Amino acid sequence: MPVKNETDKKSLMAGLLAQAPKLSKPGDIIQGKILEVGKNTVFIDLGSLGTGVLLGREVKENRNLVKSLKKGDEISAMVIEDENEKGFVELSLQAAHREQAWDTLKQLLESHQTVKAKIVSANRGGLMADIKGTVGFLPVSQLNYEHYPRVEDGDKSKILQELNKFVNKELDVRVIDADQSQQKLIVSEKAVDEEKVRQALSKFQIGDLVEGMISGVVDFGAFVRFPMRENENPNAEMMEGLIHISEIDWQLIEDPRQILKVGQKVAAKIIGIEGDRLSLSLKALKKDPWLEIGEKYQKDQVIEGEVTRINPFGAFVQLDKDIHGLVHVSDFASLEAMSKELEAKKKYRFKILSIEPRVHKLALSLVRE
């Protein structure tokens, strides 16, 4: 039938193009049927795209899969070369698997779905976990409270020993970062219970009291484990809050382990709720000794105190059970001079230069005889 005009010509061309087979390009994931399985070569019928081939290394590195293939089986593969020197579409099973695996991981990230992860190794920062055939990282900070390694002395080698106990075990995790371009996969065990914890925390308010048990003591504070709801059932679901070292007591605490022990029962006050994190305080339930400091100490008073710690900016001095003061390094000719004149765990006479109860500051000067 003759083409009547330019419009008909364009329509005819568009129709022919639509009917023409679409060409594959490197990176495409395509499907096909097995034509022939050889010792070092597998031929695949790709329909209108032509004939695909798996060569050498691809066959060798996927030997078990290749052995199981038979004529007519359907498989997916990635295009490596759209036409090699023999006219075949060169394919890769491994590249297709990796691409499909990352697609799955991205779906898990977006859906917040929980997935099983097999722990394959441990390091001081966390655990390496296999998720759907791809190895990702589970940081220590993303372990739930039951699995968090709370080593009493904070020894990193002991922490690693605790983490090694998870190798070859499975944990329920959620994907929290999946970046194929950087080959970065981060998962979290803690995130699995995140929504449950958030809902439980919605029933608490700042200022509420909780009663629980010290579940771990670390350099920066202590963890308190308590029921998610008011429930005396020993099998009730539990959650945790953190008492920062600065919230243990009004006195200066250098090591929380000297004050708190695992298994110790405590009552604490909620001072912060952020997301799934709960901040607790023990000292908030105690009377602030600085409120009545004027009854004990006054400016220009000479008192005796014990040096507890020496820092580059000065020395902390304990005046009594609750009150510490600071003698600044500027009170000495130099840091070296301060270190010569003062020694930790020894008592000296000091003069009070200033007292600021509101910010809990008391400045001292060494009395030199």
Over 70: is that where the pLDDT of 236 sits? no
Q: Which residues contact 110 (CB under 8 A, 6 or more apart)?
A: none
The residue that leads in pLDDT, 27 or 286, is 286
Over 50: is that where the pLDDT of 26 sits? yes
Q: Are 176 and 117 in contact (CB under 8 A)?
A: no
Which residue(s) pair with 317 in the sheet?
307, 325
User: What domains, with CATH codes, occur in the chain?
Assistant: 26-96 (2.40.50.140), 112-192 (2.40.50.140), 203-285 (2.40.50.140), 290-366 (2.40.50.140)
What is the average pLDDT across 360-368?
Answer: 93
What is the average pLDDT across 263-274?
Answer: 93
Distance CA(110)–CA(243), nearest Å, equals: 33
Q: What is the pLDDT of residue 4?
A: 54
Distance CA(327)–CA(350), nearest Å, equals: 8
Q: Which of 13-27, 195-209, 285-299 has the least mean pLDDT? A: 13-27
Q: Are 309 and 254 in contact (CB under 8 A)?
A: yes
Q: Are 96 and 29 in contact (CB under 8 A)?
A: yes
Report if pTM > 0.75: no
User: Could you report the per-residue pLDDT of 313-342, keeping only the tens digit for each?
Assistant: 999 999 998 899 999 999 998 989 999 999
Q: What is the pLDDT of residue 243?
A: 95
Q: Are 44 and 35 in contact (CB under 8 A)?
A: yes
Which residue(s) pair with 118 in the sheet?
130, 170
Which of 16-20, 32-36, 43-47, 244-248 is the most confident on average? 244-248
Over 80: is that where the pLDDT of 233 sits? no
What is the average pLDDT across 218-223?
Answer: 88
User: What does the mean pLDDT of the chain come to?
Assistant: 83
Q: Is the dihedral of CA 162, 163, 167, 171 positive or negative?
A: positive
Q: Which conformational region is residue 30 in: left (phi greater than 0), alpha (psi within -120 to 50 degrees), or beta?
A: beta
Q: In terms of Cα–Cα distance, which of 348, 337, 340, 336 is closest to 325? A: 348
Over 50: is that where the pLDDT of 12 sits? yes
Residue count of the chain, please give it.
369
Over 80: is that where the pLDDT of 242 sits? yes
Q: What are phi and psi of 221, to 5 degrees?
A: 155, -155
